[in-house]
Chains A and B, each alone.
Chain A
């Protein structure tokens, strides 16, 4: 018994020593992304294998990830070389991150609006955009002849979308536009990241503004020509494939099935624009170097490697997150990747592109934040309650939430000191 125990201790000690030694020799890539085992494995064996040097890729939940980063920053020294995380993961770390504005990226051109987000509201480049995912639109090709005259499917406005949905309803005999408004759908992201920014240029601050009233009025118009079964939809690929819906909005991952199963029947295209711009919600991940990184040259070299076209494509295969640079996708990509990749590039590269970020700093109040938008939708659109009254009422809930979370504004709302205000 005793010997077994001693043996175990020795083995454990050896493992610890080995792990420590390895961490010292390798570039420690401390990330919140590619966390599922298969993705982590693919990052290690596929994405990072071409790097000149050894990388120790560690994927963690945001909580433990942040704890270690903060501990190293507090101690003034650490072993993490490169940080990988969503935009929201970096916001509280801004002061501890190195300025990367002079980093050599080997001539690749990173999407400028994402680069701007990478400054985290400061003058320094706090992180370099790494990869992205987002929500787009998909249409059955049968719907294309009903586009209103003069409308370019790659640069639609909300008015044109409404006209299109109206045409479809009137000329095919039933509403063919669909939204993921079911209990498991992501309608709240459409409201937060698409409708609100496009009309108000804001997600939170102008929640009850006159522009917001217009936005809801427009959504009411659109809803008239929306398949009412939308209140049961979760993944729009299903009604698209069944033919119940011809034009739909959803997350790329929730449309992929339609594009993969019948690539010749569907087209992917950017979300429409409103008076304030083409609001869209990119899920952006970035790469940063903490000021405590022991070997900054190696860290910069790794970031440069991660942004090269071949690495970006390997990352797409490993994680389903899209490149943030201009890159031609190879032909052997699944059809959904090709179609949605093109749509995302058009949307994020549009002149009027207005990225609206995922809510951040809300902690466990994220669900309640989403509920405000869903409740507003259910009351105004489904319940037919007066827009102004509902907005005033829900703005109270939203204000209380922001105060409780003490969450400062995020894009497209202007940075705030203290909790993001709801005017």
Chain B
């Protein structure tokens, strides 16, 4: 006969883990961001906002998320439909699709850097085709949009699979009867997808979007590899202030901004994609 306290007892390790490795560092960071020699202060936020790269870093981070996440959602949905339609080799295809997920973001950045750099694969290919005669500098400071595109590509290539995995799992939960019923009433494939699959996919879509968007705001290693300091992003500036400029307070302020944006978007998704009580499958 399990005692009443058992569930709490079982939750204890996870709670302790979260408290030690999330809550404690979080309060420390928050304290760093708001504390100064004379007590509580907003001066670190002032330093951050007045830093000339801050507007660009904020803009680039938001733009990247806005450009990458919808594309990834669409692609993940398409790939998920494709995968779930397969009769044979479904697992194999899923494995192949998820290979980039196993690659660290820095490695992904470096792979794409090897393609785009001055002596990289892209220039070699173009040269071999006779399109260019001298190597083009793709990732130079004058062509920020190319760096932006390259980062987008790297992000999409590497991180779409995380959404795919969640959505495929979600699709597996949808009973076939709904689709078949719709088909009986004459719904075409597109209508079935829009009216049946998508609404029933809401919970997994919500999870996938929250996870992906939060990670998109934390984009760092790919940008560092592909753009260096030419494309400032919030996470890169956090690192820079903490380690190069040895200013933990301002770095903490940057981290708080990233946290605030992430929380904001999470709440937005929770509200937009909320699943009414009892409407689940």
Contact = CB atoms under 8 A, between A and B. Distances in A.
Nearest to A379: B52
Given A173-B134, A183-B228, A231 B141 contact: yes
Contacts of B245: 367-368, 371
Interface residues of A, number: 20
A331 interface: no
Contacts of A379: 52
A139 B44 CA distance: 45
A365 B247 CA distance: 9
A50 interface: no
A232 B139 contact: yes
B55 interface: no
Contact of B247 (A183, A231, A368, A378): A368
Contacts of A231: 140-141, 228-230
Nearest to A394: B52
A96 to B, nearest CB: 29
Contacts of B119: 242, 244
Sort chain B's interface into a size bin.
10 to 19
A382 interface: yes
Contacts of B134: 173-174
A375 interface: yes
A367 B52 contact: no
Nearest to B134: A174
Given A242-B119, A367-B245, A368-B246, A378 B229 contact: yes
Contact of B141 (A173, A244, A365, A382): A382
B228 A367 contact: no
B246 A371 contact: no
Interface string B211-234: 000000000000010001110000
A173 B137 CA distance: 14
A52 interface: no
Nearest to A366: B246
Interface in A178-200: 182-183
Nearest to B117: A232
Interface residues of B: mostly helix, strand, loop or mixed? Answer: loop
B124 interface: no
B142 interface: yes
A228 B228 CA distance: 13
Contact of A229 (B53, B118, B229): B118
Given A364-B246, A367-B246, A228 B229 contact: no
Interface in A219-251: 228-229, 231-232, 242, 244
B137 A228 contact: yes
Interface centre among B118, B139, B142 (most CB of A within 10 A): B118
A27 B188 CA distance: 93
B244 A228 contact: no
Interface in A363-416: 364-365, 367-368, 371, 375, 378-379, 382, 393
A231 to B, nearest CB: 5
B110 to A, nearest CB: 13
A175 to B, nearest CB: 10
A228 B52 contact: no
A196 to B, nearest CB: 20
A231 B53 CA distance: 16
Given A364-B246, A368-B246, A182 B137 contact: no
A228 B140 contact: yes
A38 to B, nearest CB: 27
A182 B118 CA distance: 14
A55 B167 CA distance: 71
Interface in B161-186: none
A368 B139 CA distance: 26
Contact of A244 (B52, B118, B246, B247): B118
Interface string B21-51: 0000000000000000000000000000000
B244 A229 contact: no
Nearest to B119: A242
Nearest to B139: A232
A367 B244 contact: yes
A375 B52 contact: yes
Interface in B112-134: 117-119, 134
A198 B155 CA distance: 45
B229 A183 contact: yes
Nearest to A174: B134
Given A183-B228, A183-B229, A228 B247 contact: no
Contacts of A242: 119
A365 B52 CA distance: 19
Contacts of B230: 231, 382
B141 A182 contact: no
A223 to B, nearest CB: 11
Interface in B138-170: 139-142
A231 B142 CA distance: 10
Given A174-B134, A229-B140, A242-B119, A182 B228 contact: yes
A367 B141 CA distance: 23
Contacts of B142: 228
B225 to A, nearest CB: 11
Interface string A241-276: 010100000000000000000000000000000000
Nearest to B250: A368
Nearest to B142: A228
Contacts of B246: 364-365, 367-368
A51 B229 CA distance: 50
25 contacts: A173-B134, A174-B134, A182-B228, A183-B224, A183-B229, A228-B140, A229-B140, A231-B229, A231-B230, A232-B117, A232-B228, A242-B119, A244-B118, A244-B119, A364-B246, A365-B246, A367-B245, A368-B245, A371-B244, A371-B245, A375-B52, A378-B229, A379-B52, A382-B230, A393-B52
Interface of A: 173-174, 182-183, 228-229, 231-232, 242, 244, 364-365, 367-368, 371, 375, 378-379, 382, 393
Which 3 A/B pairs are nearest by Cβ-Cβ distance?
A228-B140, A364-B246, A367-B245
